[in-house]
Structure 1
Amino acid sequence: MPLPKLSPLQSRLAASLMASIMILLLYLTFLSPQFAYAADVDSIRPEDHNHERLQDMRTWELDIDDLQIRAEGYEAEFLGYDRSIIGRVPTADDPTALINNRVVTTNVEQGQTIPFSFLNASLWGALSPQASGLPSSVRLRTRATEGDFYGDDNTENADTVLLDFQEDEDAEHQHSNPVLQPRQSTSTSTRTLYVTVNVCTQPQAADANLEPPPQLELYISQSEKNKNPGPGQDSNTQQAYSLEGGAAMVAVNASGDVYIGLTGRNLTGNYTGTWNAQIAASIDAPYHSYNSTESNLVLVDSDSGAALLVTNDLTNNNGTIYDEWVNITPPFTMFASKTSDTSMMGLEYSYCGLEKVADIAGTINGGQSTGKVEVSMTTRGEDNNPKQQFYFGGLSPGTSYYGIMAMNGNATALGREGVGGGGQVWKAMTFSTLSGM
């Protein structure tokens, strides 16, 4: 069917109508909801000031051979930031940070140094309550060769001091703060840090006639140039100490981070195995302690298979302290071994070591009573002063024994937690059983 022929006026009218319809369609299109806010709301995407920089990077010039495939644990390196800002990736060689009055147990291989640290934040932390379960105190002192820790001005200037402890002659005047009473530094720029070690096990000798293995060595540094003290490091930046009887007590006048190394020597083929040791640091008092001069233990009687021993007088005070000692739950325990048994040699000042190697152990496994040693308080003797007595059997006739008195933890319900929680050990004494019935 042929289209109708329009006049010039009709043609102009049709063209005008078509244009109007097109404009109307465009208008309706832009009113659609998906376009409603496109021009009214700012983008939520933050402005990228590195946009031009990134656009200009010549990424197409990278060679695939230059790319390194990172293993698990890879930490990204961010453009424009160095490691000092985003932090350093920890490594296996980083020191283990010690926490105040918290023991750490570690194995030390022959020829190995285990690194530790006590950081500035812990050094200047709050002091802990000086808890104790004893009516009167014992206090720390230095060995005679180190001077008097309580009054020698020369010692005040020392960075580190070897410690021992003794019974306090004025214990009745110290009742408000019994047991361990080291002096915290009065300086506002330094604090006294007590670093202690107990060896629980040591390498075994191939022959019973051999000497015990060498003691572990303790290294301490306060230098930022020596954060891993140990053998081969600059001696001007560290102090070195050999343990004694499987134990060490060192006092450090510190002002910041303290770095510690615990080293086992390389041994000959005559010794096998590793050391297992406890290490602790405290700003309050030594976590472990020992007395290398006094045994505080006396033999009262023995027969062919049993022995009775007592402590020295625990007080000569006739007041309330006397009554408290008489009525206290016995705080001390005992360890005994034949003098011919060399397994205790090298561990005689270590509480955890004695628990593992003594023939007769009052406690094992960190203070668990074995029931092998019967204990009680007594006032036996001419002076009637309080003492603790120990009775145990299972001994061999005509045999010489070492007897060692010790205290588990700090004699409180806290046990191994808190100040002095590692226990105390006194010097060994000897006693013998009778040969016959």
Structure 2
Amino acid sequence: MQLPKLSPLQSRLLAFAITTCLVVVIWVCFQPNYFAYAAEIPVPPEVVQHSEFEASIPPAPPDDPPVEIRDGLEEEESGDALYAPTFAYFDRSLVGRQEADKPLELNNNRMMDIDIDPKETKLFIFKKNQLSQRSVPEDIPVARGLEDTVNGTLDAEGRSGENNSVKRQAQSRIWISANTCRQPVPTVPLVTESVPQLTLQIWTTTSSSAARPSASKEAVGNATFSSGHANYTFSTDEDVYMEVTAPALTEGWAGSWNFEIAASVDDGYYHNYDNSTNFIYMVDTDSDSTLFITHNMTDFNDTEQVAKWIDAHKGDNLPFDIYAFPDDAWSPMMGVERSYCGLKEQFETSNNLSVLSSITTQFGQGLPKGMFNVQGLKTSMNYTGFLALNGTSNMTIDGTKAQGGGLVFKSFQWQTKADDTCQVIFGLEECSTVAYAVPSSPQWKNNDTGLIAFYDDLAKKYMQNFRRSLAQVACDTAGTAQYSLARTCTDCETDYKAWLCSVLIPRCEDWTANDTWLHPRNINTPFADGTLPSSDNLSMQFNATVRNRFAYNQSRNNEIDKVIKPGPYKELLPCEDLCFDIVRSCPAQLGFACPDPPMRELSYGRRDEKGIDLKCNFPGAVVDLTVDRGAAGMLSYRVSMVVLIAVLAAAWSWV
């Protein structure tokens, strides 16, 4: 059949209809569910990957009111007016706001030194990537927001304490400490208020979601600096924030603070303070200097090891430092008594004192000890001292290790002597155990070298004569021919030398000392003003029993009165048991004997049976500074039994 012939118009209509049908077929074949639509899907914040540019933009300042985004416009919470936004981070003093709120990052066991003004706050952060993963003892507090399982509580997901213990084990212990190095000073003569102290506040990301905690959110810990020192330890697995705040200054104070802060996960505080250990003894004092020694620095006495240890700590490498301040109405050490950097800075900037430091083995057992001679002190002045183990020593004292911030021991007090009749000497060649105040005079005050040479030369002459006499004894003979089966000639020489140094070089106390066991000397010699001691006592009995007796009107050694000319003073007599020891140790043919009472009481003292007071002298006798001062400011004396062993336990008096 022949198809009808279409006109041009009909042909166009047919082509359009066919095309329309094809389009419909194609639309039906490709359903909409095969296409992807761009839509905003909610995503948890923790899985969002931020761009580097976005990460560089700080969060909106907490002081700005929150805003709500609506169709590209921002509406203030406090109103209905809409406005086209501008980029807030670059039109609101971005630089100043960021510096004020951005926390300073602390690194593990690294101190940060910073200044702070009154009413100012400094913010710090210790990031959790520096925390070590180790178990936490049960007695260590856990950061808020981390559930504790000790009492079987459930965690946030309802799991039992048994499973939650894995979470606790993953936490790390952190030690946070701070020291005040510089502080405001009083502007009034009479200080009635204590030094203003900084405060430390600590929290974690679990205890506060904001970078700075609000008043309604509790922190992990709070601490007010005590005498310039603050510390806190706890366990966490989150970022740790620290905030140090300076108080407002009241009338009478001016200045600012400087402090150090550090966080550590290395088993201890960077800054340490020991309130229970004194670790220092006072050997003796005079009118302008004082001699101290520390406890033993090591527990070995091998000669070679000790020599190596001493060589490694010569000069500025001595692990200890000592600081001294006069007890005035206001002292620069007040407010920083527990701060190593504070004591160090105040001592170096506000004192005219000098300290000669060394290591000595002369105080028993051959063990090394630190020795300090503090010079430039004032006459009859009360002082407060501090011993510190510096941060480079890497030493551990009574279980406390000195980290980089040092270790400060509790303070101690003492008083200098009232006149120049006594002078501290040490470092003698022959009598190496002599280290105390000896009879002196103003003309020898600035001549320590000459005074040491005078006493040491006397001892050398006596020892030379003694050795010649001892050489006449058959010391190296057979046991059946020896003078003693219990003592040798070596024992005799050692004991004689200790006795000789104690009696030939008297231990001196000034005339104002009033302990009943002290023995007056040179009472017929006038004072500097021309008056005589006990000039108001003219009784015949006093003249017969005291003034006219050699035991009172002259020194034990006549050379002292001829050369030194000390004037009136009092002597701490040598211990009587030293005389007994020399009689037991030496051959009878040398003729040693001790005087009988009552003559013995004029030449020798007797040790305190309770071991509390130092009532007689012997090599190695020191003052225990753990004893509190009395109302008159005088120190009670104690014998240090720690340093009195071996040869130091032997010392004698003049026969």
TM-score normalized by the length of structure 1: 0.60
* Residue 158 (structure 1) shift: 5.1
Matched, 1:334 2:322: yes
- Residues 280 and 421 (structure 1 numbering): CA distance in 2 closer, same or farther, change over 3 Å? same
Q: Please give the alpha-carbon distance, in whole angstroms, between the structure 1 residues aligned to 2:262 and 2:89.
A: 35
* Residue 314 (structure 1) shift: 2.5
Structure 2 partner of 1:347: 336
* Residue 119 (structure 1) shift: 0.7
Structure 1 partner of 2:181: 200
Structure 1 partner of 2:498: none
Greater RCO (Cα-Cα under 8 Å, separation 6 or more): 1
Q: Please give the alpha-carbon distance, in whole angstroms, between the structure 1 residues aligned to 2:376 and 2:269.
A: 34
* Residue 394 (structure 1) shift: 0.9
Equivalent runs, 1:79-98 vs 2, <5 Å = 90=98, 92-98=100-106
- Residues 391 and 231 (structure 1 numbering): CA distance in 2 closer, same or farther, change over 3 Å? farther
Q: Aligned AA for 1:337?
A: F
Equivalent runs, 1:269-288 vs 2, <5 Å = 269-284=251-266, 285-288=268-271
Runs of 5+ consecutive residues of structure 2 not aligned to the other structure = 1-36, 39-70, 73-82, 145-166, 395-401, 421-655
Please give the secondary structure, in 1, of the residue aligned with 2:367: coil
Equivalent runs, 1:352-431 vs 2, <5 Å = 352-358=341-347, 372-411=354-393, 420-431=403-414
| Mean Cα deviation higher: 100-109 or 391-400 | 100-109
Deviations 1:315-372 (A, max 9, x none): 444458766655541211111110224221110111211122227889xxxxxxx993
Paired residue for 1:309, among 292, 314, 332? 292
Paired residue for 1:239, among 211, 221, 236? 221
* Residue 188 (structure 1) shift: 4.1
TM-score normalized by the length of structure 2: 0.41
* Residue 255 (structure 1) shift: 1.0
Deviations 1:385-410 (A, max 9, x none): 32110112111111111111113322
Structure with the largest fraction of strand: 1
Structure 2 partner of 1:21: none
- Residues 387 and 230 (structure 1 numbering): CA distance in 2 closer, same or farther, change over 3 Å? farther
Q: Please give the alpha-carbon distance, in whole angstroms, between the structure 2 residues aligned to 1:321 and 1:221.
A: 48
Q: Please give the alpha-carbon distance, in whole angstroms, between the structure 2 residues aligned to 1:213 and 1:335.
A: 20
Q: Aligned AA for 2:358?
A: S
Matched, 1:290 2:298: no
Alignment size in residue pairs: 302
* Residue 220 (structure 1) shift: 0.9
Structure 2 partner of 1:252: 234
* Residue 299 (structure 1) shift: 0.8
Structure 1 partner of 2:115: 107
- Residues 314 and 91 (structure 1 numbering): CA distance in 2 closer, same or farther, change over 3 Å? closer
| Mean Cα deviation higher: 376-385 or 278-287 | 376-385
Structure 2 partner of 1:216: 198
Q: Please give the alpha-carbon distance, in whole angstroms, between the structure 2 residues aligned to 1:71 and 1:100.
A: 32
- Residues 391 and 159 (structure 1 numbering): CA distance in 2 closer, same or farther, change over 3 Å? farther
Q: Aligned AA for 2:332?
A: S
* Residue 425 (structure 1) shift: 1.5
Q: Aligned AA for 1:350?
A: S
Matched, 1:261 2:243: yes
Q: Please give the alpha-carbon distance, in whole angstroms, between the structure 1 residues aligned to 2:127 and 2:280.
A: 40
Q: Please give the alpha-carbon distance, in whole angstroms, between the structure 2 residues aligned to 1:93 and 1:403.
A: 41
Q: Please give the alpha-carbon distance, in whole angstroms, between the structure 2 residues aligned to 1:360 and 1:113.
A: 27
Q: Aligned AA for 2:126?
A: F
* Residue 202 (structure 1) shift: 1.3
- Residues 119 and 226 (structure 1 numbering): CA distance in 2 closer, same or farther, change over 3 Å? same
- Residues 228 and 322 (structure 1 numbering): CA distance in 2 closer, same or farther, change over 3 Å? farther
Q: Please give the alpha-carbon distance, in whole angstroms, between the structure 2 residues aligned to 1:274 and 1:394.
A: 30
Structure 2 partner of 1:144: none
Q: Please give the alpha-carbon distance, in whole angstroms, between the structure 2 residues aligned to 1:361 and 1:272.
A: 17
Matched, 1:299 2:282: yes
Q: Aligned AA for 1:331?
A: P
C-alpha RMSD of the superposition = 3.8
- Residues 158 and 387 (structure 1 numbering): CA distance in 2 closer, same or farther, change over 3 Å? farther
Q: Please give the alpha-carbon distance, in whole angstroms, between the structure 2 residues aligned to 1:270 and 1:296.
A: 37
Contact 1:227 1:259 in 2 (8 A): no
Please give the secondary structure, in 1, of the residue aligned with 2:100: coil
Please give the secondary structure, in 1, of the residue aligned with 2:354: coil
Equivalent runs, 1:146-157 vs 2, <5 Å = 155-157=139-141
Structure 2 partner of 1:41: none
Contact 1:336 1:361 in 2 (8 A): no
Structure with the largest fraction of helix: 2
Runs of 4+ in 1 over 6 A off after TM superposition: 359-362
Contact 1:105 1:277 in 2 (8 A): yes
Please give the secondary structure, in 2, of the residue aligned with 1:374: strand
Matched, 1:119 2:108: no
* Residue 429 (structure 1) shift: 0.8
Deviations 1:212-259 (A, max 9, x none): 323211111124425556783533x33111122101232221211111
Q: Please give the alpha-carbon distance, in whole angstroms, between the structure 2 residues aligned to 1:421 and 1:71.
A: 40
Q: Please give the alpha-carbon distance, in whole angstroms, between the structure 2 residues aligned to 1:307 and 1:287.
A: 31
Contact 1:99 1:281 in 2 (8 A): yes
- Residues 254 and 69 (structure 1 numbering): CA distance in 2 closer, same or farther, change over 3 Å? closer
* Residue 383 (structure 1) shift: 4.3
Structure 2 partner of 1:180: none
- Residues 218 and 157 (structure 1 numbering): CA distance in 2 closer, same or farther, change over 3 Å? closer
Deviations 1:120-170 (A, max 9, x none): 112249x9xxxxxxxxxxxxxxxxxxxxxxx9x65145559xxxxxxxxxx
Q: Aligned AA for 1:274?
A: S
Q: Please give the alpha-carbon distance, in whole angstroms, between the structure 2 residues aligned to 1:68 and 1:192.
A: 45
Please give the secondary structure, in 2, of the residue aligned with 1:357: helix
Q: Aligned AA for 2:111?
A: V
- Residues 328 and 262 (structure 1 numbering): CA distance in 2 closer, same or farther, change over 3 Å? same
- Residues 389 and 227 (structure 1 numbering): CA distance in 2 closer, same or farther, change over 3 Å? farther
Equivalent runs, 1:171-210 vs 2, <5 Å = 188-207=169-188, 208-210=190-192
Q: Please give the alpha-carbon distance, in whole angstroms, between the structure 2 residues aligned to 1:202 and 1:247.
A: 12
Q: Please give the alpha-carbon distance, in whole angstroms, between the structure 2 residues aligned to 1:400 and 1:384.
A: 32
Please give the secondary structure, in 2, of the residue aligned with 1:353: helix
Contact 1:114 1:261 in 2 (8 A): yes
Contact 1:409 1:421 in 2 (8 A): yes
Paired residue for 1:435, among 418, 440, 447? 418
Contact 1:336 1:359 in 2 (8 A): no
Please give the secondary structure, in 2, of the residue aligned with 1:278: strand
Contact 2:182 2:342 in 1 (8 A): yes
| Mean Cα deviation higher: 186-195 or 421-430 | 186-195
Please give the secondary structure, in 2, of the residue aligned with 1:380: coil
Runs of 5+ consecutive residues of structure 1 not aligned to the other structure = 1-48, 51-56, 59-64, 76-88, 128-150, 161-185, 363-369, 413-418
